[in-house]
Chain A
Amino acid sequence: MSVDVLAVLPALARRLGGEDAVLAAAERLSGGASMETWAFSMEIPGQRRRDLILRRRSAPFDPDASRSTSLAAEAALIRAVRLQGAPAPPLVHLCDDEDGLGECHVTERIVGEALGRRIVADPRFDAVRPGLARQCGEVLAQIHATPPPAAAELKTADFLVELGRYEDIYRASGAERPVLELAFQHLKASAPEPVDLVLLHGDFRNGNLMISPETGVAAVLDWELSHIGDPAEDLGWICVNSWRFGRPDRPVGGFGDYADLLAGYEAAGGRPVPLRRVRAWQALGSLKWGVMCLMMYLSWSGGTEASVERPMIGRRVSETEIDLIHLLEAGL
C-alpha cells in the first residue's frame, strides 16, 4: 500500500495529542525491505514536546510464510515485557483504519545510540561499556520470564527446528559451501538437550539496543522476530561475531564478556545456562547469518530485489565461515 506518510502524520498528531496538537518534525530514519521507521514530534500548547517513533509495514505481509510477527503482535509483546521490567520503548498507539497509515504502531522515542560500531568504539560510551554485558543478561532474564501474550500468536522453534529450517534453505539454494555443510552436520550431531522454552526477543544483538552514554541499555528495539524458544538462543545471538563490530576480543556484542552476560542473567532470576550451550547457539547464529546472506543474494538473482546491496551481501558468507571455523577449532 502506497501512503504519503508525511501528509497523514498531522492528523495522527491530532488524534494522539488532541485538536491543538501540531506536527513539529518528521523524518524517515530507515527503510528496510518491508518495514519503515519514522521519527516525528508533536507539540501541544502548554505541554512538553513529545518525540515519537512510527514503525510501519510498507510491503504486503504473509503471517504464515514470514518469520516476523505482525505489528499488532509487536505491540502486545512490548506491553507484556514492560510489565516484567524489560526496557522496551513504551507503546503509545496501535494504528487502525482511521489513521490511514496501514499496519503500524507508535512508541516513545528513547534517547541514545543504536549504531553498533559507535557503541563499541565511541569514547562517549567508555563509562557504561564495561557494564553492558551484565545489563544485557539482566534484560534477557526479564524478557524470558514474561508470559507470552496469547494475542501475539508466536511461533515455536528449538535448536533442531531452527537448524533444519536453515538447512532446507541452504539445500534449495544450490550453493556448495563445505564449511556450512560441516557446521550443519556437526551441530545436528551435537545439538544441546532440549529445555523448557520461553519467550524470546529473537533478534537481541548490538544494533537493536538503544544505549545511553549515562545509563547503558535504555531500550530493546525491533521485536518482530520474537518467538518461543531456547533461552540460550537470545544469549548466543548477541555473541555472534558479526555483531561485534571489529572487536572479536569482546564476545558479547563487541563490548563485554560471556561471564558478565551469564552472571547478569542469573542475578536477575534467569535459570543458569552453561557457556557451552551459549556457544552452540552462537555457532547456529553464525550459520543462520551465513544462510541469510545467501538468501539476500538469491532475492537479487531471483529478481525480487534489484538493489546492488543484495548480491554484495552474498559475499559476506565467508565472514560467517571463518567464524564457524574458529568455533569448530575450539570444539565450540
Chain B
Amino acid sequence: MITHPRTEELAQAVARWVDELRPDLDPRNAFLARVAVNVLGVIGRELTLGPAAEAAATQRLVVLLDHGGGYAELNGELCRRLREGTMDVASPGLLAALKANVLDQLAIDQPNYRHEG
C-alpha cells in the first residue's frame, strides 16, 4: 500500500483541520465537529489496529469452535450456537475469547472508555 501518505495519515490530517475550525462554530456544529474528529480517530485506529485485531479474533474463534474459517463465518456460527444454547456462559474458553475480542474492538472504537477491568 502507498506510504507517502498512509491512509491513516490522511484521516489524521482531516481531523486536525476540523479541530482548527471548531472554535469558530456554533455550539451544535462544534459538538458535531468533535464527533467528526472522533469518527476519524476510529477510522485511523481501524486502519492501523484492525488487521491484527481481526486476525487474532479469527484465531480465537478457530480454537473455540475447533475448526477453520473466515471471521464473519465463524462469528456467525458462534452467534447461532449461543442462540440455540449449544454454547453458553459455562462453555470452556468462551468468556475469555469474547473478552479478548471485545477488548481489541474497544481499543479501536473507544480506547478511553473506563470499564471495571
Contacts and interface: CB of A to CB of B under 8 A. Distances in A.
B106 A329 contact: no
Interface in B75-117: 75-76, 78-79, 82-83, 85, 88-89, 94-95, 98-99, 101-103, 105-106, 109-110, 113-117
Contacts, number: 93
A170 B114 CA distance: 25
Interface stretch (A37-45, A211-219, A306-314): A306-314
Nearest to B72: A176
Contacts of B79: 176-178, 181
A296 to B, nearest CB: 12
Interface residues of A, number: 34
A178 B77 CA distance: 9
Interface string A90-110: 000000000000000000000
B99 A325 contact: yes
A51 interface: no
A221 to B, nearest CB: 20
A328 B85 CA distance: 16
A272 interface: no
Q: Dominant SS at the B interface?
A: helix
Contact of A318 (B35, B82, B102): B102
A185 B31 CA distance: 37
- Looking at chain B, what size class is its interface with the partner chain? 20 to 34
Which of B28, B103, B115 gathers most chain A CB within 10 Å?
A: B115
A244 B79 CA distance: 29
B102 A322 contact: yes
- Nearest first, the 4 closest Cβ-Cβ pairs linking A and B are A315-B109, A181-B82, A326-B116, A318-B105
Interface of A: 31, 176-179, 181-182, 184-186, 189, 241, 244, 246-249, 307-309, 311-312, 315-319, 321-323, 325-326, 328-329
Interface of B: 28, 31-32, 35-36, 38-39, 42, 72, 75-76, 78-79, 82-83, 85, 88-89, 94-95, 98-99, 101-103, 105-106, 109-110, 113-117
